[in-house]
């Protein structure tokens, strides 16, 4: 779980830099995609927790 947290922080830092260079409408599109990815990640992560636990 620690690796997941560190990976998430690192990715969010890179994405924050990328977001600053995008236009307003591109940011909206990226935010939607990120929201979906985060939702998928949490669903996947909860399944892993159930299997391991």
SS3 of residue 22 by DSSP: coil
Contact 4, 45 (CB under 8 A): yes
Specify the pLDDT at position 18. 74
Residue 30, number of CB atoms within 10 A of its CB? 14
> What is the distance between the alpha carbons of residues 18 and 33, in angstroms, rounded to a whole number?
14
Cβ contacts of 25 within 8 Å, gap of 6 or more: none
* Mean pLDDT on 11-40: 79
Q: pLDDT class for 42, splitting at 50, 70, 90?
A: confident
- Residue 53, pLDDT > 70, answer no
Q: For the whole prediction, is pTM greater than 0.75?
A: no
């Amino acid at each position: 779980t620690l690796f997941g947290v560190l990976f998430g922080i690192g990715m969010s830092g890179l994405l924050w830099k990328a977001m600053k260079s995008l236009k307003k409408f591109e940011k909206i599109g990226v935010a939607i995609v990120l929201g979906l990815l985060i939702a998928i990640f949490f669903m996947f992560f909860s399944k892993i927790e159930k299997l391991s636990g």
